[in-house]
A and B are shown apart, each in its own frame.
Chain A
Amino acid sequence: MSTKKDTEILQGFIEGDSRVLREMYSKHFPEVKSYIVRNSGTATDASDIFQDALVLTYQKLKSGSLRLECSLATYIFAVSRNMWMNSLRKRKKKVTIDKSPDISVNLEKSIFAEMELQEQKALYQKYFLKLGDRCQELLQHFFLGKKMQEISALMGYSLAYTRKKKFECKKRLLEMIERDPIFVELSSDTLKAKGK
């Protein structure tokens, strides 16, 4: 990352600047989509993978655990590509490596190491965002460690209703996650790994 423009993009990305994110989509998503579609995927697969790759990159940059030695776009392409290869491997499909991004072997290895954990996180996040707004808000307060009394005041609910609603929202969230084929896949992978 050397040019002023690159630094601005990186800064905007970490800050979640919508203009930078829109630019990411318009400039770099087509390349990822084309790669995934050429390799047994669909446009929807491409959207999911690209979104997960952006979130993973964001998390790593935000936590300071990533030092970029290439451009942000190259890194995101590498993450997308590795995520897709990992997904194909699970589906036992043939992987065609027709485009290798310009990053070091170490960086590529570190991307792979994060993948499983990220897949699980992405699943939980996606379904959380599928809950109704009020459920999201209530659980958000709860996960941030607020007491039920405080949450009921913030939400304008009675304490008893807050407890009931928290249970219902969380139960619903877990049920949605459990029904996703990726969750089943990840669970069986974990079991296999523990069995070894």
Chain B
Amino acid sequence: MSKRSPELFDLIEDYLRNELDDVSQKKFKKRLETDTDFRKEFEKHKQLHQTLLDQDSIMFRKKLMRIENENSDSVNSKESRFTFNWKIAAMIFVLLGLGLFFLFQNKSSEKSLFEKYYTVYPVEDTFRGNQEKDLQLSLRAYGRGDYKEAEILLNGLIDKRPEADELKIYLGCTYLELTQPEKALSEFESLIDSVTYSEQANWYKALTYLKMNQSAKVISLLEDIIAFDGIYKNDAMNLYSNLKKEKDPDDL
């Protein structure tokens, strides 16, 4: 595959928008004929442009997704009411079983790996004290765990201060708290090139994949974090060994 770069994207986009001069256009067409990887990349951009030009359909799909979610929420709540007694019975049974289990096993109960390793990114000291009012409000909402409010405020702030990478870490964690891991991922990924926050972003990205049960991706990210040898190295090593143990219990 042609290595993706802003320059490559600009070139393809200029061609698709018919903004290349005659000479560049000829050169472009020639490359399409001779360079298979380039042609494949071009085809994807072309499809993307054609598809996303139809914003009506996208908005229509968005609406359907919302309706589907409403439906599944109401089905789930109905199911949860219906199965309530069964759940109690099952819980009693499980508790009895666990009681017996602990009589014979001297192991402490462990939370899920995500719960074990995830802590919401703390509000940094540099942010405390005198700040502009909207920043204060955002961080207060975030700090007291009002993530719905924090989401709105942080998005507004990032709009005004797109260079404020630290706010994206907060927004990413906010999305994790609101159980929207895809959106969290997008925030953390936007920090990959950040000079100050790429390490934090990588760690939270790994945790997001952990929440999404994509352990292969978690492991690959943890290897990078361990190699980076920074503040998350120890946590990364421990989580790595937990995951490996789960994956290949006989190897360890």
* Chain A contacts to B: CB under 8 angstroms: 16, 18, 21-22, 25-26, 29, 47, 51, 54-55, 58-59, 62, 120-121, 124-126, 128-135, 139-140, 143-145, 155-158, 161, 163-168, 170-174, 177-178
Would you mind naming 5 contact pairs between A and B with Cβ atoms under 8 Å apart?
A: A22-B67, A25-B67, A143-B55, A156-B160, A164-B6
Given contact pairs A18-B67, A156-B159, A131 touches B51 in the complex (Cβ within 8 A): no
Contacts of A21 in B (CB 8 A): 63-64, 67
Given contact pairs A143-B53, A171-B4, A128 touches B159 in the complex (Cβ within 8 A): no
| B92 CB → nearest A CB, Å | 29
Asked if B64 contacts A135 (CB within 8 A), the reply is no
**Interface SS, B side:** helix
Asked whether any CB of chain A lies closer than 8 Å to the CB of B65, the reply is: yes
Asked if A161 contacts B162 (CB within 8 A), the reply is yes
Given contact pairs A163-B6, A171-B4, A125 touches B58 in the complex (Cβ within 8 A): yes
Whole-angstrom distance between the alpha carbons of A161 and B164 in the complex? 12
Asked if A18 contacts B63 (CB within 8 A), the reply is yes
Whole-angstrom distance between the alpha carbons of A121 and B192 in the complex? 29
Centre residue among A59, A132, A157, A164 by max chain B CB count within 10 A: A132
Asked whether any CB of chain A lies closer than 8 Å to the CB of B9, the reply is: yes
How many A-B contacts are there with CB distance less than 8 Å?
112
Contacts of A59 in B (CB 8 A): 54, 57
Whole-angstrom distance between the alpha carbons of A115 and B51 in the complex? 15
Whole-angstrom distance between the alpha carbons of A144 and B158 in the complex? 23
Name A17's closest neighbour in chain B (CB-CB). B63
Whole-angstrom distance between the alpha carbons of A54 and B158 in the complex? 35
Which among A125, A132, A139 is the interface contact of B61 at CB below 8 angstroms?
Answer: A125
Given contact pairs A21-B67, A124-B48, A172-B189, A144 touches B4 in the complex (Cβ within 8 A): no
| A132 CB → nearest B CB, Å | 4
In the A-B complex, the 3 residue pairs with the smallest Cβ-Cβ separation, listed nearest first, are A132-B186, A124-B51, A143-B52
Asked if A157 contacts B59 (CB within 8 A), the reply is no
Contacts of A22 in B (CB 8 A): 67, 70
Whole-angstrom distance between the alpha carbons of A161 and B160 in the complex? 12
